[in-house]
Structure 1
């Protein structure tokens, strides 16, 4: 016979049966070790919310666009707080320095630009914080051989490839010709048409990646066999 006694979280055995008790003890320790080894270490687990981390990374790289609502503050200078929608010329209005173009810059890049302007004539070591409080609505049009043709809204905080955008339209139909997808775009006031091989992109050809722009008109033609 033997009895169990817990010592510092580990069960030890007071053996009465000699060798039998020792064997049972070894079996218990081995089983307990195996169970412990199967428990996943918490520090090996992935982030509890990877989507939020991904979105934060995307937002940090986001390029400010016309129509975005931005908020600007200067540390210890509350009278310089500003906010408003980015105008058609890509600018916002800031106290003292006036109109400044931030379109196409990241939030951090825009903040550094505003700091440089204040540093010229007004502040010794300004610390500017700028963030986009509301993204502008961007739309594209997808026509032809897709499941849901028509106008589609783009997630403004992330640049999408044409392959991802076709997913917004439910994907291509069975008779779509994905080797000759046409993208109509206004560039410097002139209309340009791009021919895109979506099949090559789908096969992992990184050199063929094509990113869509606001107001693009995408046409997926029918495949003629």
Structure 2
């Protein structure tokens, strides 16, 4: 059996141990924001997830181009409706109309073009709806961790486009990019800030910093 003296010697140590345990939550709070729990989305990932939720076909001013996949819906006529990919000539084949020149038009303009082609010879009052199912990709080269073609997301900046590809290399110049637009036949590079919006088909080059 322990003596009273040994018990009294033990009690202060036990109290010190308990006080240390009670102080742990305060110490953790002082370390800053907690790490995401299982099932939560980290802030950077949440930003990308938010971009992915933007409806693809919602950009009414988007100019269609080679490689875009679109859906054409002619109300009440499933035989005329379907999914089409704009080919290298900027066209796609549609029943009754044959080749449709789509490159350079936005969805509303393409709808009007198809309506005019269908009436009055084929349909009296055609109703047409166009949705962009998949944009043509953008391309990354230069001082980035991953080069190649990447899926375009509506509203993305050049900085986000590079982040999706893994980010900059350690030699990268990070304040601007050089871009060749898909519709520029001269293939001339233009210098743009990282905050500028990417356009589908952009060829993006990240330069090497000098020092």
TM-score by length of 2: 0.58
Task: Name the structure 1 match of 2:158.
Answer: 162
Aligned in 2, Cα 1:177/1:159: closer, same or farther, shift over 3 Å? same
Structure 2 CA distance for aligned equivalents of residues 184 and 53 of structure 1: 24
Task: Name the structure 2 match of 1:81.
Answer: 81
Structure 1 CA distance for aligned equivalents of residues 96 and 183 of structure 2: 34
Task: Name the structure 1 match of 2:148.
Answer: 151
Task: Name the structure 2 match of 1:140.
Answer: 139
Task: Name the structure 1 match of 2:173.
Answer: 177
Aligned in 2, Cα 1:53/1:219: closer, same or farther, shift over 3 Å? closer
Q: Give CA-to-partner distance per residue, 1:186-216, whole Å, 9 cap, x none.
A: 6543231222344xx4xxxxxxx25355251
Aligned in 2, Cα 1:120/1:52: closer, same or farther, shift over 3 Å? farther
**Of Structure 1 and Structure 2, which has the larger fraction of its residues in strand?**
1
CA contact (8 A) 1:90 1:102 kept: yes
TM-score by length of 1: 0.55
Structure 1 CA distance for aligned equivalents of residues 68 and 168 of structure 2: 31
Local SS of the residue matching 1:115:
helix
Local SS of the residue matching 1:192:
coil
In the comparison of the two structures, how many residue pairs are matched? 161
Instruction: Give the alignment of 1:3-18 within 5 angstroms.
Output: none
The 4+ residue runs of structure 1 with deviation greater than 4 A are: 50-54, 184-188
* Unmatched 5+ stretches in structure 2: 1-48
CA contact (8 A) 1:60 1:107 kept: no
Structure 1 CA distance for aligned equivalents of residues 71 and 177 of structure 2: 39
Local SS of the residue matching 1:214:
coil
* Unmatched 5+ stretches in structure 1: 1-49, 202-208
Task: Name the structure 2 match of 1:191.
Answer: 187
Local SS of the residue matching 2:174:
coil
Q: Does 1:219 align with 2:210?
A: no
